[in-house]
Amino acid sequence: MTARRRFRDVIRIGPVQVATSYDGHGRDKHTAACTAPRCGFSADYDSRAAAELAARTHRCQI
């Protein structure tokens, strides 16, 4: 079963969106996900700074 997340503080850095949500234990998780077609990059981080750094340095392979 998939978890439904409610994202907040969503920003866009190039084609990558960075957002904050709660995990299943009530802790903050930060997600960076590329919105380019057929890219498939997404990752969860413990800090907002790490997620924003990943968004700034991401280069699509397509």
Would you list the domain boundaries of the chain? 7-57
pLDDT in tens, 11-29: 999 999 999 998 888 889 9
**Cα(43)–Cα(16) distance, rounded to whole angstroms?**
11
Q: Give the chain's mean pLDDT.
A: 90
The pTM of the full predicted model, rounded to 2 decimals, is 0.83
Phi and psi, residue 27, nearest 5°: -95, 155
- CA contacts within 13 A on the Cβ side of 3: 9
CB 22 within 8 A of CB 29: yes
**Cα(62)–Cα(51) distance, rounded to whole angstroms?**
21
Beta bridge partners of 31: 19, 44
pLDDT at 26 (0 to 100):
85
